[in-house]
Amino acid sequence: MSVLNAEARSATTHLAADADEPAPVAVEVHGVHKWYGAHRVLDGIDLTVAAGEVTVVLGPSGSGKSTLLRVINHLEQPTLGHVSLGGEPIGVRWHRGRLRELSERQILTQRGRIGFVFQNFNLFPHLTVLENVAAAPVATGLQRRTEAEQSARELLDRVGLGEKADAYPRQLSGGQQQRVAIARALAQRPGVILFDEPTSALDPELVGEVLAVIKDLAAGGTTLVIVTHEIGFAREVADRVVFMDGGRIVEQGTPAEVLDRPRHPRTQEFLSRVL
């Protein structure tokens, strides 16, 4: 697997900084609230993710992390606020000064620009590994089948599973299935990839192989938003760490700032329990 080393990634970051031009915004969350009945899950989230940035979201269970990802992908519609990808609202459009919901077809087209890797893989059990990866580009018209299958083989090689192209998901380990899910997310050439606790369903000995693939994506400049409980992994790959509690972002900054010198009492309490 081709992996850019940490020095190369650091040099790229410094070159961008020296240009005195901020990186273009990939994702922007504008004042998002989400209620389920009387239960408020997200409480006024504002978040900006720059292109090429790796943002890791931490927080206790029930803090709204997974819901935030689903709102970014418009799998959940915000109660208030909206999300933009590259400056374009996701799932809605402005009409006479108000946001109107797009059609499901339009939303599916937009969603193709946002990769999503779930906790439990969500592969189609009746399709081979190759077919799982190639399905979306064919269905959305991004590629013809022969092109999609060639691209799928290249992506499977990238995640170290080229020899498993003709296998079915049930024949793979959990770690292998998650790597296929990552290849499937990449197949749509998304502007950002969202990871919802990608190692939580894996046996401990399989976690490393999935994290290695994500590190490769991070080193290559892919825009990533990752919900995880892997603090060491967050420290290693994140450009920015966001800590959520009670549906709010209570603290964010570099890994050194948030993980080594947390300012908010809730962040301090959480880290004291998990480190």
Structural domain boundaries enclosing 147: 123-189
Is residue 165 in a domain? yes
pTM comes to 0.89
Is residue 127 in a domain? yes
Give the number of domains in the chain. Answer: 1
Tokens read off for 37: 């009945």
Is residue 173 in a domain? yes
| Ordered mean pLDDT values, 10 residues apiece, the chain (275 residues) | 38 44 86 96 97 97 96 95 93 87 89 93 97 94 95 97 98 97 96 96 94 95 95 95 98 97 97 91
pLDDT of residue 22: 66
Is residue 175 in a domain? yes
pLDDT of residue 20: 55
pLDDT of residue 19: 46
Is residue 230 in a domain? no
Is residue 170 in a domain? yes
Question: What would the DSSP string read from start to end of the chain?
Answer: -----HHHHHHHHHHHHHTT-PPPEEEEEEEEEEEETTEEEEEEEEEEEETT-EEEEE--TTSSHHHHHHHHTTSS--SEEEEEETTEESSEEEETTEEEEPPHHHHHHHHTTEEEE-TT----TTS-HHHHHHHHHHHTTSS-HHHHHHHHHHHHHHTT-GGGTT--GGGS-HHHHHHHHHHHHHHT--SEEEEESTTTTS-HHHHHHHHHHHHHHHHTT--EEEE-S-HHHHHHH-SEEEEEETTEEEEEE-HIIIIIS--SHHHHHHHHHH-
- Amino acid identity, position 50: A
Is residue 219 in a domain? no
Is residue 60 in a domain? no
